Structure 1
């Protein structure tokens, strides 16, 4: 299957506060039509820097970017015509209503007036935005503005759709509606590059996950394949009784322990014993609740990138590229 996006060996450096920082360090990435690829990483991992190179806003130091076969480095204008982008910052639409803004973008991207109008209504209905459809944009909430920005991206989508943190400020109910529309974009033939740091939500919608850390790709697999890295280990989640301390058996180490919550990694072979222990502690009043579940994608992600990822110069510079000076290639 031909890719709508192919990135190979992409490198980009910046100078920030006198330090050279490698924002992208040899990134390879592929998105096919009908596929949602999640680009997952903490704040400052280099995700937005990568997106800016895909759409021609930043020139890479080295490497190639091809959008539907076209050289996006040599022809950034062509890349921008082939890509629909929801940027991390909302598009300013002061003076317009959400309905008018979405319909105008549809017309600008070549949709016939009737088609743009119908698609606008369809998106506003699907995202539960009709109550604000005719409200001046300066009077809507941040979540409504964010959903409007997505609708502007999806009204006449390009063959590649790039969504940079699309769920920011969106409430949980409408977030689910948004995920359904993202899935629909792919099902109708677009390739979707979903940029996020929300591990739990990414697990629900993506076909493949690319984990980026300090500008490097640590994993490029299906969510199931990444989770399988944890092997047969399960996670025991505990709600502790206030003022009581559970008596942990040998070999069970509680981590992420707060005042009323704790978790423990449990090998599958020891699952029955762990459940029996938790049940006894519950009966003794030292626990209020327990649950044993397979390792989540978030667990594996933290193991991949480390607890402290995002600290230091690399995270700061990659996440603030607009404040940085490019290093001559």
Structure 2
């Protein structure tokens, strides 16, 4: 394993706040591993400990077999990191900034020039490559930060919300580059709260909330842990309310006009009939029935959609 984390505890405010509460996970060479959870779940705190910017209260972290807690300098040397904040490149063009980081990380001059050109071309950043002190959209700055992290990738590449503010086309191109980095042999740790993106790109993931690992495995394994039911989604008409949901809508979660629930196989016909009744009565704008998604698993473990606290039960 390139990265092994065992029973990590990290607290703040004299132990009153548990940022990490017994976290254990591992990431292999060539693997894209997702760290999925809402804001405040403890993801960034864990990353800071991996790269030696914070020290755990207890537990162990090994990077390529070396104790990263005792040797934080080694961990920083072996890890490439893209943080949530934009990398400042005042006085430099994107091309110069990317090449500079590659050289600092020890890459050969010719290799770094070739790799920088490759990244700029593949991510379609050519129109900005020679703009000094880039003061453009957040998405372009985000792309530059990503390139700086992967131009000379470490054994472990940590990407913290890499697609924030990036347009859909270049987001797809970026994920292709992430897969390429993993294919070159780096272990990629992807930190995100975007469930749909995580399901498409990761090999395995851990769902984290309130400092604890709620589940770990491949997307398929996590989905298969639930029963063989289906997911029903109801979108209420504006201003309308369903005061009492039928019992075949199991584990309902409500967010504004959206209702998500699980329906067992034997009650699917009943659920469809009821949804059509709601639609005909003007209560529901639309509904859908589909297989269980990673979002369903995430919501069942975390109880949030897009950072909101969600009540269980009936609509208000």
TM-score normalised per structure 2: 0.87
Deviations 1:13-33 (A, max 9, x none): 211xx7721211221121100
Equivalent residues in 2 for 1:265-280 (5 A)? Answer: 265-279=262-276
Secondary structure of 2:16's aligned partner = strand
Partner of 2:296: 299
Q: Which stretch has the larger CA shift, 73-82 or 249-258?
A: 249-258
CA distance in 1, matches of 2:187, 2:224: 26
Check whether the contact 2:80–2:150 (CA below 8 A) recurs between aligned residues: yes
Decide whether aligned partners of structure 1 residues 212 and 247 sit closer, same or farther in structure 2, where only a CA change above 3 A counts.
Answer: closer
CA distance in 2, matches of 1:285, 1:67: 57
Pairwise CA distance, 1:40: 1.2
RCO comparison, higher one (Cα < 8 Å, 6+): 1
Deviations 1:187-219 (A, max 9, x none): 221101111111121111111111122222121
Check whether the contact 1:44–1:310 (CA below 8 A) recurs between aligned residues: no
CA distance in 2, matches of 1:163, 1:296: 24
Decide whether aligned partners of structure 1 residues 252 and 258 sit closer, same or farther in structure 2, where only a CA change above 3 A counts.
Answer: farther
Partner of 1:219: 215
Pairwise CA distance, 1:246: 8.4
Decide whether aligned partners of structure 1 residues 245 and 252 sit closer, same or farther in structure 2, where only a CA change above 3 A counts.
Answer: farther
Deviations 1:85-135 (A, max 9, x none): 111212211111111111111112122222111111111122221121111
CA distance in 2, matches of 1:306, 1:247: 21
Partner of 1:168: 164
TM-score normalised per structure 1: 0.84
CA distance in 2, matches of 1:279, 1:27: 45
Partner of 2:313: none
CA RMSD in angstroms comes to: 2.7
Check whether the contact 2:7–2:60 (CA below 8 A) recurs between aligned residues: yes
Decide whether aligned partners of structure 1 residues 156 and 241 sit closer, same or farther in structure 2, where only a CA change above 3 A counts.
Answer: same
CA distance in 2, matches of 1:311, 1:285: 27
Structure 1 unaligned blocks of 5 or more: 313-329
